[in-house]
A and B are shown apart, each in its own frame.
Chain A
Amino acid sequence: GEDVEQSLFLSVREGDSSVINCTYTDSSSTYLYWYKQEPGAGLQLLTYIFSNMDMKQDQRLTVLLNKKDKHLSLRIADTQTGDSAIYFCAETGAGNMLTFGGGTRLMVKP
């Protein structure tokens, strides 16, 4: 079946940039997403990118998509302590079904 993989953990200092990476296997993916989950909360949709785009910028967030390598990344500029959370990438293939990665825990040190 389809697979979405992420590294488990990333630690950065406040003010630095964070880059969270994700790889996926489904070549028919139409949309790719980044979600943020703070402790004890549900998932919040941060941003998404259509599969025919290679970059999308939204304030401090930049999403890069390399469709050839099936690689998605989320860059957070000027990372703040409030950005500490688990970040999930997800993709939709046939049938609009979402497949999630295991999540990357971002820790921002002051």
Chain B
Amino acid sequence: DVKVTQSSRYLVKRTGEKVFLECVQDMDHENMFWYRQDPGLGLRLIYFSYDVKMKEKGDIPEGYSVSREKKERFSLILESASTNQTSMYLCASSYQGGAFFGQGTRLTVV
């Protein structure tokens, strides 16, 4: 079975902290994605990566950066967390038959 693992289910961070969300996939997929999900707004793409060290901005990249040093790992970085970044964050990896998602990280910024 394909596995996409996010490092934390729940996180609470303080405003201004630097936050790392980690995602690891075990299927050698080239494409990996970070989404955030908010009530009434659906899934919004933050960043995606189509290869090691390659990244593209999604719909809402402001306040975020990403790192893809190894094919299996895609990290989302909040440089200086703010309360409006409180959300559910979903990582996915994909091939043409579909994307597989991690279990999600619910981040609360206080």
Chain A residues close to B by CB (< 8 Å): 30-31, 33, 35, 40-45, 48, 88, 90, 92, 95-98, 100-103
Most chain A CB inside 10 Å of its own CB: which residue of B35, B41, B43, B104: B43
Interface centre among A45, A88, A95, A101 (most CB of B within 10 A): A45
B99, A98: Cβ atoms under 8 Å?
Answer: yes
Q: Tally B residues with Cβ within 8 Å of A.
A: 22
Minimal Cβ-Cβ distance residue in B for A46: B98
Q: Interface 1/0s, chain B 87-110, versus A by CB < 8 A?
A: 000101010111111111000000
Interface of A, helix, strand, loop or mixed by DSSP? strand
Q: Which residues of A contact B35 (CB under 8 A)?
A: 100
Interface centre among B42, B48, B98 (most CB of A within 10 A): B98
Report whether B103 and A42 are in contact in the complex, using a CB–CB cutoff of 8 Å.
yes
Given the interface contacts A88-B43, A103-B42, does A98 sit within 8 Å of B103 by beta carbon?
no
Give the CA-CA distance A83 to B84 in the complex, in Å.
32
Residues of B within 8 A of A (CB): 4, 31, 33, 35, 41-43, 45, 48, 50, 90, 92, 94, 96-104
Assess whether A96 is in contact with B50, with CB atoms less than 8 Å apart. yes
In the bound assembly, the distance between CA atoms of A30 and B101 in angstroms comes to 20
Residues of A within 8 A of B45 (CB): 97-98
- B90 in contact with A42 (CB, 8 Å): yes
For residue B94, which residues in chain A have a CB less than 8 angstroms away from its CB?
96, 98
Instruction: Give the top 4 A-B pairs by smallest Cβ distance, nearest first.
Output: A102-B42, A42-B101, A43-B101, A100-B43
Q: Report the nearest A residue to B106, measured CB to CB.
A: A40
A33→B100 CA distance, assembly (Å): 11
Q: How far does the alpha carbon of A41 sit from the alpha carbon of B88 in the complex, in Å?
A: 10
